[in-house]
């Protein structure tokens, strides 16, 4: 863990003061359906599409990380849109997925090293801005209250996450309900940066071949680094269009 990550963890530990309901495996899948979230297999597939595209770029592509985020979010929405019009794409100052019927909106970001680890404090990998702060401040109802609008966060693994260091990576992602945030120290006149905190619900999903999610595993380059070489198996999932 880097010094930056350790510092953020200390801030989060000082602020944590709520009980968190944690679901994983089959319980997470069932709870997600109960709460009205997207099918977890759609999210799993979107992450692989984003990673497959990322693996075709090199460090000289300065937009590769934001491009991965954009591809993941895009693929989630396009797959949901194929199933009907229950979910909307809100493309304002902070893009999100919106389900007015279930009073849920989902914002997406990479998670910190606690992603998928039940006894650690989940949050974002890096500081977030004003729009995230506003949405979290509005999270007054309980996470299972369907009468009022709630903002959930989809945390997917950062490419720096330890999950990607194995030759065969088994990845995890989460749908979480934050109820507060910590403010990160910034220089004078800089914009506010926050980390979501005090999540009262964590739905943890694992991308493997045993729980119905696809794909099964990610085959990474043998040297552990990204490659610009394009191989047929880089595109084993059909992109939604």
**Residue 235 banded pLDDT, cuts 50, 70, 90:** very low
Q: What is the pTM of this model?
A: 0.82
Let me know if residue 232 belongs to a domain: no
**Can you say how many angstroms the Cα of residue 7 is from the centroid of all Cα atoms in its chain?**
21
Q: Tell me, what's the pLDDT at 207?
A: 86
Does a structural domain hold residue 123?
A: yes
User: What percentage of residues in the chain have a pLDDT greater than 90?
Assistant: 59
Cα-based torsion angle of the residue sequence 202, 203, 205, 211 in order, rounded to the nearest 10 degrees:
150
> Average pLDDT, stretch 8-17?
72
In a domain, residue 139? The reply is yes
SS3 118: coil
> What range does the domain containing 106 cover?
3-38+88-219
Q: Is residue 26 in some structural domain?
A: yes
CA dihedral 27, 215, 48, 72 (to 10 degrees): -40
Dump pLDDT digits (tens) for 134-184.
Answer: 999 999 899 999 999 999 999 999 988 888 876 666 899 999 999 999 998
Q: Is the peptide bond before 215 cis (omega within 30 degrees of 0)?
A: yes
Q: Which residue has the tokens 């401040």?
A: 137
Are 154 and 173 in contact by the 8 Å Cβ rule? The answer is yes
pLDDT of residue 41: 93
How far is the C-alpha of 12 from the C-alpha of 150, rounded, in Å? 22
Q: Is 127 domain-assigned?
A: yes
Is 238 part of a structural domain of the chain? no
Looking at the domain assignment, is residue 76 inside a domain?
Answer: no
Retrieve residue 241's tokens: 């269009």
User: What 8-state DSSP symbol labels residue 128?
Assistant: B
Per the listing, tokens 């194995």 go with 166
Task: For residue range 35-55, list pLDDT tens digits in order.
Answer: 999 999 999 999 999 998 998
Measured between alpha carbons, how far is 191 from 211 in angstroms, rounded to an integer?
A: 42
Taking only the tens place, the pLDDT of each residue in 75-92 is 999 999 998 889 999 988
Q: Which has the higher per-residue pLDDT, 58 or 222?
A: 58
Q: Of 98 and 239, which is predicted with more confidence?
A: 98
Q: Compute and round to an integer the Cα radius of gyration of the chain.
A: 17
- Residue 62 in any domain: the answer is no
Query: What's the number of domains the chain is made of?
Result: 1
pLDDT band of residue 93 (cuts 50, 70, 90) is: confident
Place of tokens 């964590």: 202
- Count of other CB atoms within 10 angstroms of residue 137: 12
CA angle 96, 102, 18 (to 5 degrees): 80
């Amino acid at each position: 863990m880097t010094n930056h990550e350790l510092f953020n963890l200390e801030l989060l530990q000082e602020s944590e003061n709520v009980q968190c309901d944690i679901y994983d495996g089959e319980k997470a899948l069932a709870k997600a359906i109960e709460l009205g979230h997207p099918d977890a297999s759609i999210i799993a597939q979107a992450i692989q599409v984003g990673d497959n595209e990322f693996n075709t770029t090199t460090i000289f592509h300065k937009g590769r990380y934001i491009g991965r985020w954009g591809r993941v979010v895009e693929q989630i929405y396009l797959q949901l849109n194929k199933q009907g019009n229950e979910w909307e794409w809100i493309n304002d100052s902070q893009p999100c997925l919106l389900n007015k019927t279930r009073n849920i909106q989902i914002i997406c970001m990479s998670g910190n090293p606690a992603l998928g680890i039940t006894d650690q404090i989940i949050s974002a990998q890096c500081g977030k801005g004003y729009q995230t702060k506003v949405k979290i401040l509005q999270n007054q109802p309980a996470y299972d209250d369907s009468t009022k609008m709630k903002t959930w966060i989809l945390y997917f693994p950062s490419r720096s996450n330890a999950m990607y260091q194995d030759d065969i990576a088994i990845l995890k992602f989460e749908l979480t309900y934050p109820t507060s945030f910590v403010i990160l120290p910034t220089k004078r006149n800089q914009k506010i940066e926050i980390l979501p905190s005090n999540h009262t619900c964590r739905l943890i999903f694992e991308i493997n071949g045993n729980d119905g999610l696809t794909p099964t595993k990610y085959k990474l380059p043998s040297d552990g680094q990204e490659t610009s070489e394009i191989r047929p198996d880089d595109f084993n999932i059909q992109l939604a269009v």
